[in-house]
Amino acid sequence: MMINPSTPCRFVKYITLLLWGGAIYWLVEIVYRGHSHWTMYLLGGVCFLAIGAINNYLPWTLGIVWQALIGAVIITALELLAGLILNVWLGLGIWDYSRLPLNLWGQISLLFSLYWIPLAAFAVFLDDFLRWKIYGDVRPKYKLI
């Protein structure tokens, strides 16, 4: 079996992007809540990779507004999955949105889903910038809608 020579480089690229995304998500939590949990670093990194993948599966002509909305849905879905595993199944109690209106099992809330829209837009820009400047990927071009 022949190994693709670009595989190790691609692995380093994705690990680096995961670390960037994790660090930013973790810092946002520190600023907003005053504390975080190490699992949020991992969740942020996975969210960042997933948002970065939007351009791999959808056309570049998709407007930034749509990318941000899709990114917010991705973050919300991953937050629900992580919440069910970490908070409900493992009982870690990292967050609890049950006091907020329009929450689902205390793990996600419509209010925070709306907060994820600008965060996802920032993630799209940062991911595209890092991929372009550091890894020589395609220079990003954007349209609003």
pLDDT tens digits, one per residue of 20-64: 999 999 999 999 899 999 999 999 999 999 999 997 788 878 999
Q: Which two tokens stand for residue 99?
A: 């006091």
Q: Which two tokens stand for residue 22?
A: 């994790």
Contact 67, 121 (CB under 8 A): yes
Residue 2 has a pLDDT of 41
Instruction: Name residue 104's beta-bridge partners.
Output: 108
pLDDT, one tens digit per residue, over 65-122 is 999 999 999 999 999 999 999 999 999 999 999 999 999 999 999 999 999 999 999 9
Q: Where are the alpha helices (DSSP H) in the chain?
A: 7-33, 38-52, 54-57, 64-83, 110-133
Distances in Å between the Cα of 4 and the Cα atoms of 10, 41, 89 are 10, 30, 39
Residue 69 has a pLDDT of 97
Residue 7 has a pLDDT of 65
- Residue 104 CA to residue 115 CA, distance in Å, equals 16
- Residue 75 CA to residue 129 CA, distance in Å, equals 20
pTM of the shown model:
0.89
- Rg, the chain, Cα only: 16
Residue 145 pLDDT greater than 90, yes or no: no
